[in-house]
């Protein structure tokens, strides 16, 4: 029997808006916490290996529907989109905490990678680490919540993943109004969205089109189709999960599957060219844009087939190839940092300057056009979007943006009064966490400047995620380290550690803010009270702080950090950036190559901006993707490339729907991530390999 007829409340357009109590329920929390914990385990595992993190909003929503569908006979009331949106908010924010709190990046860099000369390690008791995680995860939500009306209603940012999640819920719940709100653009009376994102070839965009077609082509069997869509997606996810779990189990007992010598044992030993039979990375390849995977592969060739032998044979990296201190992997990352910094300078400059230039152009152009048309043009429209100047003139029914949102009462919104007392509390808790963890020795001036940087970084990250489906946290974190350099001088004790940790606060705030705005986009489509999303994000973050600390300590107590299995590349990126800006421990020729790659990164960034919306833009490599391919071992990049190729073939041949492929990829990722719990148990019990 269809969920749409038995357990889904389909309110007609114009019906009474849901209240917070309709979304925030005990059963939603009971469903969200386990789902978020599973995502947390997966993100910790893959984050420590390669720095990959995925909040899985679509998957969390689908799993939330599945869990409550199983419990349907015991539910006292019907399930509705706002409740599932709340599940999504809690689960995805909980699952992202390994990255938010720095447990896959700067925290292990400080605990395990930094030398004694660079600062005192902060391996701390649970209470201190919990204070750190709580303090660092509250900034983003309190900064992002007041910006909802600006970025979602005025700027009309697209947020492809969030839009796909919302439309999926609309299809599952047979609610056509969700699809209608997906591309609602108040500044254009035409049906065309404000911004063209057709050049984005990600799984999320394909899913949006699939869901839209499903919602527009329903027939008399629509309930059966919705049921089939839901059951099919869950079936693919569970089947892939089981296959991934079984493959990971086989990999434990046959370790050679982690390092198959695809070019022979000698090349594998000398140059690290192997293949890891990893279902999780295969799944990651399926959900990432093909062009991004192509750039990763290009980076792998440049880093491991060209630069690695060059550094080794010239004596710049005389150690073993996988050694981070004396080997070519450690040397390559210095070069990769240059690409990241160069790309970041261009990307962030573009994000800041383009809106300012557009506003200046609108301001200068408005009087002339207004006079030519006879006056009466709404200045607010022209200041926002130059293309709306003429569409505004074509209609007399244009409404100001303040009145286009659903008429939520103040009890359903994040109000100004909430912002006035919650924001100072969040900043005080964050300051206290930094001072307590570092025993009061952290530079006060750097902390103060950080709190100025965080809102700016949040705005940049929100805009970036909304426009190009990337939160740009890698760029933001590198730039924040550079900005903090004059405030944390080399004469300060533990200056490298302080630079990493305080820079991590900026990254965490930006990440949390962008993720919450994406959740608010889904909530806008499903008519979920904005305050419910804020509560969900806070609940997920606070519970995630506890879960992620437990998972982090579990991994670090059973597994060696760093190791060939858990190389912590994000941690090395933080540490080496700090060393680069303080010019500490530079390997031979690394600085010269880094300067060259900074210039290369800038040129690539400029080319991508020039080629925006052009057919050849995807041919210009991303500096960040190239860098990731350069320092992540080939064994973990090749499965991603293979997964991307498989997705492309399946899509071209129309063997499976895009939603089915997405669910399959998610099952592969979650299966290997959850198996890591079993693997740690096997390691602790010293179960032998075959």
What pTM, to 2 d.p., does this model score?
0.82
Sorting pLDDT into bands at 50, 70 and 90, what band is 204? very low
3-state SS assignment for residue 8? strand
| Residue closest to 459 by CA, chosen among 154, 72, 15, 42 | 154
Cα of first residue to Cα of last residue in the chain, in angstroms, is 47
At 515, phi and psi to the nearest 5?
A: -65, -40
* CA–CA gap between residue 493 and residue 288 (Å, rounded): 41
pLDDT in tens, 426-441: 999 999 999 988 888 8
What pLDDT is stored for residue 121 in this prediction? 58
H-run or E-run covering 14: none
pLDDT in tens, 96-138: 999 999 999 999 998 888 887 776 555 568 888 899 999 999 9
* CA–CA gap between residue 205 and residue 208 (Å, rounded): 5
* CA–CA gap between residue 430 and residue 432 (Å, rounded): 5
Sorting pLDDT into bands at 50, 70 and 90, what band is 248? very high
What pLDDT is stored for residue 122 in this prediction? 58
* CA–CA gap between residue 447 and residue 502 (Å, rounded): 7
pLDDT at 381 over 70: no
pLDDT in tens, 493-533: 789 999 999 999 999 999 999 999 999 999 999 999 999 99
pLDDT at 252 over 60: yes
* CA–CA gap between residue 91 and residue 543 (Å, rounded): 10
Sorting pLDDT into bands at 50, 70 and 90, what band is 52? confident
* CA–CA gap between residue 280 and residue 669 (Å, rounded): 4
pLDDT at 425 over 80: yes
pLDDT at 297 over 50: yes
What pLDDT is stored for residue 228 in this prediction? 60
At 275, phi and psi to the nearest 5?
A: -130, 125
What pLDDT is stored for residue 17 in this prediction? 80
Higher pLDDT, 498 or 377: 498
* Average pLDDT estimate for 614-620: 84
**Would you say how long the chain is, in residues?**
690
What pLDDT is stored for residue 292 in this prediction? 85
Whole-number average pLDDT of the chain: 81
What pLDDT is stored for residue 123 in this prediction? 58
Q: Supply the DSSP string of 394-441, one letter for each residue.
A: T-S----GGGSS----GGGS--HHHHHHHHHHHHHHHHHHHHHHTTT-
Higher pLDDT, 375 or 65: 65
Tokens of 249: 């189990």
DSSP class of residue 117 equals: G
Q: Do 608 and 347 form a contact (C-beta atoms < 8 A)?
A: no
* CA–CA gap between residue 327 and residue 651 (Å, rounded): 41
* Average pLDDT estimate for 382-400: 39
Sorting pLDDT into bands at 50, 70 and 90, what band is 641? very high
What pLDDT is stored for residue 341 in this prediction? 86
pLDDT at 260 over 70: yes
pLDDT at 197 over 60: no
Sorting pLDDT into bands at 50, 70 and 90, what band is 236? confident
Given the structure tokens 């386990």, which residue do they identify? 34
pLDDT at 643 over 90: yes
Q: In the 3-class helix/strand/coil scheme, how is 59-92 assigned residue by residue? A: HHHHHHHHHHHHCHHHCCCCECHHHHHHHHHHHH
| Residue closest to 3 by CA, chosen among 88, 64, 85 | 64
* CA–CA gap between residue 616 and residue 601 (Å, rounded): 18
């Amino acid at each position: 029997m269809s969920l749409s007829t038995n357990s889904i409340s389909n309110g007609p357009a114009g019906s009474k808006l849901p209240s917070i109590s309709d979304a925030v329920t005990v059963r939603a929390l009971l469903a969200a916490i386990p789902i978020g914990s599973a995502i947390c385990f997966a993100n910790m595992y893959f984050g420590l290996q390669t720095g990959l993190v995925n909040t899985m909003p679509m998957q969390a929503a689908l799993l939330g529907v599945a869990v409550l569908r199983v419990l349907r006979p015991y539910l006292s009331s019907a399930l509705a989109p706002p409740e599932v949106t709340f599940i999504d908010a809690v689960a995805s924010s909980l699952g992202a905490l390994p990255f938010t709190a720095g447990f896959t990046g700067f925290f292990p860099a400080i605990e395990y990678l930094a030398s004694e000369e660079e600062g005192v390690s902060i391996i701390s008791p649970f209470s201190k680490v919990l204070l750190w995680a709580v303090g660092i995860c509250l900034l983003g939500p309190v900064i992002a919540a007041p910006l909802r009306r600006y970025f979602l209603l005025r700027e009309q940012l697209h947020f492809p993943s969030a839009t796909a999640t919302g439309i999926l819920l609309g299809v599952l719940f047979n609610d056509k109004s969700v699809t209608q709100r997906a591309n609602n653009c108040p500044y254009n009376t035409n049906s065309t969205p404000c911004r063209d994102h057709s050049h984005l070839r990600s799984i999320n965009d394909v899913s949006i089109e699939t869901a839209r077609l499903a919602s527009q082509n329903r027939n008399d069997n629509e309930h059966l189709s919705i049921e089939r869509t839901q059951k099919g997606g869950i079936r693919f996810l569970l089947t892939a999960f089981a296959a991934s779990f079984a493959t990971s189990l086989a990999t434990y007992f046959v370790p050679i599957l982690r390092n198959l010598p695809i070019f022979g044992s000698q090349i594998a030993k000398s140059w690290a060219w192997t293949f890891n039979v990893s279902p999780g990375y295969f799944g990651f390849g399926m959900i990432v844009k093909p062009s991004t995977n192509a750039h990763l592969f290009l980076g792998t060739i440049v880093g491991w087939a060209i630069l690695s032998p060059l550094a080794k044979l010239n004596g710049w990296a005389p150690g073993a190839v996988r050694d981070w201190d004396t080997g070519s992997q450690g040397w390559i990352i210095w070069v990769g940092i240059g690409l990241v910094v160069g790309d970041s300078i261009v990307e962030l400059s573009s994000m800041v300057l383009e809106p300012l230039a557009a506003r200046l152009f609108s301001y200068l152009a408005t009087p002339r056009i207004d006079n030519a048309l006879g006056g009466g043009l709404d200045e607010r429209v022209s200041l926002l979007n130059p293309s709306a100047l003429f569409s505004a003139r074509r209609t007399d029914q244009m409404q100001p943006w303040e009145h286009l949102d659903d008429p939520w009462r103040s009890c359903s919104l994040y109000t100004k009064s909430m912002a006035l007392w919650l924001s100072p509390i969040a900043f005080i808790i964050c300051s206290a966490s930094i001072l307590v963890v570092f025993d009061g020795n952290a530079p006060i001036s750097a902390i103060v400047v950080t709190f100025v940087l965080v809102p700016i970084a949040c705005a940049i990250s929100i805009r970036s995620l909304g426009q190009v489906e990337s939160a740009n946290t890698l760029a933001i974190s590198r730039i924040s380290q550079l900005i903090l350099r004059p405030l944390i001088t080399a004469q300060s004790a533990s200056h490298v550690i302080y630079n990493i940790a305080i820079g991590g606060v900026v990254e965490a705030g930006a990440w949390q803010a962008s993720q919450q705005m994406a959740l608010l986009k889904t909530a806008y489509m499903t008519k979920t009270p904005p305050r419910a999303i804020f509560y969900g994000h806070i609940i997920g973050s606070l519970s995630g702080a506890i879960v992620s600390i437990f998972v982090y300590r579990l991994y670090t107590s059973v597994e060696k950090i760093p190791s060939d299995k858990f190389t912590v590349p994000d941690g090395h990126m933080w540490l080496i950036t700090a060393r680069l800006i303080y010019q500490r421990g530079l390997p031979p020729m690394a600085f010269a190559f880094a300067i060259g790659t900074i210039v290369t990164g800038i040129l690539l960034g400029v080319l991508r901006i020039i080629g925006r919306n052009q057919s050849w833009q995807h041919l210009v490599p991303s500096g960040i993707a190239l860098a990731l391919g350069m320092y992540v071992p080939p064994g973990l990049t090749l499965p991603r490339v293979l997964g991307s190729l498989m997705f492309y073939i399946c899509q071209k041949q129309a063997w499976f729907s895009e939603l089915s492929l997405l669910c399959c990829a998610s099952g592969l990722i979650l299966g290997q991530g959850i198996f890591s719990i079993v693997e740690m148990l096997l390691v602790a019990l010293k179960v032998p390999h075959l």
